[in-house]
Amino acid sequence: MKQNKKYRLSEKFWKGETSISEEADFFNRGKGDAVLPADELYAKFIRYARQDNAPSAGQIWEHISKRHRLRKRRLYLVSMAASFLLLVASVAFVYSSVGEDNREAEFALLEQTLKHVSEGVDPTGKSEVDIIYEDETIVIVSENSN
């Protein structure tokens, strides 16, 4: 093809005025036959796009369903991890509250000991203990020192 004819064909193509046979000539040019670098790049793109490399509809849907299953699996695993963490946090909370009961008893004993020391009460001395109220879980006493 002469250079002038190539240029006119390129102009006609970009204006959208070419016939099917002229477009075939435009896209089937050899490397270096293009007038402009954009012509060569576009022709290369069209040749690649016209090849039968595109995935079929079945392959596309298979890919979509595979990603959907993967997304559901991730959601399932994240839900399991969150449930496990919630369970561990609940157990830790219950365990720490049980420990608080023991700490309260220890603090009460410490407070009573400090009270005896500050008041000069001898813990080994005799004192009267009157039971005011007694239940299965509660015992209320009154202590009188001699």
Q: By three-state DSSP, how is residue 84 classified?
A: helix
- Burial grade of 16 (CB within 10 A; 0-12, 13-18, 19 or more): exposed
Q: CA torsion sign, 10 to 15 to 20 to 24?
A: positive
Q: What is the pLDDT of residues 15-66, one digit of tens each?
A: 888 888 888 777 777 666 666 777 778 877 877 777 767 678 888 899 999 9
Is the pLDDT reported for residue 8 higher than 70? yes
Q: Indicate the pLDDT class of residue 134, thresholds 50, 70 and 90.
A: confident
- Distance, in Å, from the CA atom of 82 to the CA atom of 16, rounded to the nearest integer, reads 59
